[in-house]
Amino acid sequence: METSQPRTRNPERTRKQILDAATVEFTNKGIEGARTDEIARAAGVSKRMLFHYFNSKDGLFQAVLEKIYLDIRSAEENLDLTGRDPIEAMAELCIFSFEWFAKHPEFMAILNEENLHGAVHAKASDSVLTLNMPLVDIISKVLKKGEKEGFFRPDVDPVELYISIAGVSYLYFSNMHTLSEIFGRDLSSREELDKRRQHVVEVILGYLCHPETQPSVPNAKSRK
């Protein structure tokens, strides 16, 4: 009779399974509505194992928050913005941010939940601040390069700029259903998404660039 081999423990894989399941649960139900037993079931682990890794439901939500920030910041680093023409770099950051909201609805849902709770998990996290500061440095370098080359206006605050880049995309997706009804458009259609993405790029570059150096922004190809 053959004896079954014991399953090899893989803490990294187990942790990822729990985080993936928790992201879905928190996205759909928020912190209060999320059930740790459902997260454990979806992850294929015991509830005891869940608390072994994350201590509490709040600890698990904090880990999910840290992960979604790590995901977007890692993807932004791959854009190599500092190695590009500054106008092209800022346009690419706008496009990237817009498409991230479109493709990652969990990102918006988790951030909405965190804001409803006064950012208590972000305050308790050692990594959220450190994850976001490199992006500010990258934007600062692009802005300085653009200013030096005569394209960008001087003294642009990189944090204010990034809030604007995120904001003009965020509202579109957070209010997509009501705005679609109010204006009689399907704002989730690819045609409307492409139009809005183009608008975002033009709005941000319109603020950044001197009138005499304002570029003609070509239509970006659809990113499916």
pTM: 0.85
pLDDT above 90 (res 204): yes
Residue 86 CA to its chain's centroid (Å): 22
Listed in sequence order, the residues at least 6 apart from 57 whose beta carbon sits closer than 8 Å to its beta carbon are 31, 34, 36
Helices 105-116, 158-174: crossing angle, 10 deg rounding: 110
CA 18/CA 36 separation, integer angstroms: 10
CA 7/CA 17 separation, integer angstroms: 16
CA 203/CA 205 separation, integer angstroms: 6
Residue 214 backbone dihedrals phi, psi, to 5 degrees = -60, 120
Listed in sequence order, the residues at least 6 apart from 49 whose beta carbon sits closer than 8 Å to its beta carbon are 14, 18, 40
User: At CA 96, angle to CA 201 and CA 64, rounded to 5?
Assistant: 135
Res. 5 pLDDT band, cuts 50 70 90: very low
Res. 214 pLDDT band, cuts 50 70 90: low
Listed in sequence order, the residues at least 6 apart from 41 whose beta carbon sits closer than 8 Å to its beta carbon are none
Encode pLDDT of 63-121 as tens digits: 999 999 999 999 998 898 999 999 999 999 999 999 999 999 999 999 999 999 999 99
Residue range 214-222: mean pLDDT, rounded: 52
Predicted local confidence at residue 11, as pLDDT: 85
